Amino acid sequence: MPTSAAGSKRPLALPQGFTLLELLVVVALIAVATAGVSLSLRDSAQSALQRDAERLAVLLETGRAQARANGLPVVWRTQDNSANPVQSFVFEGLPPPGLPKNWLADTTRARAGSAITLGPEPLIEPQAVALSTAHSAPQSPGQTLWVVTDGLRPFKVQNTREQAPP
């Protein structure tokens, strides 16, 4: 036990706190980790298109079910508005409020004039609609996904227009 008498040994004082270099290293690590997380959370155009295609397949099936329940044909078609660069779509033949009319992503496009007839009959003609991304950047080629049905099975999303075997 140290005493205050002359000649007694004092214990070495332990350093308290952090050095400036240690703090700079920690701040740099946090900045790199934050940048990595923010880049990984960004929604890519491909995943946005996939999400819109899957949503359209579900909406088409819903419209098909409502057409059968009401006994009236329902037609899905794209709407291009020259005043608004964002494309939308409409389900004609459904009672209000109907189904959603906009894509989730502003870059999703269907070919202008595309239309799908969802008749009241259980068996409809084979139908397909191509969805693609708007070319906002020249270095990123647009991807195309197809929402298709053979007329009997539900609508599904695939990379080609042709029907896959059952």
- Over residues 134-156, the pLDDT tens digits come to 765 444 456 889 999 988 899 99
Cβ(49)–Cβ(105) below 8 Å:
yes
The residue ranges of every structural domain in the chain are: 45-158
Q: How many CA atoms lie within 13 A of 107 on its CB side?
A: 20
The Cα 128–Cα 72 span in angstroms is 21
Q: pLDDT at position 138, please?
A: 46
User: For the whole model, what pTM was predicted?
Assistant: 0.68
pLDDT at 5: 61
pLDDT at 16: 78
Q: What is the mean pLDDT of residues 51-59?
A: 93
45-158 has CATH 3.55.40.10 classification: yes
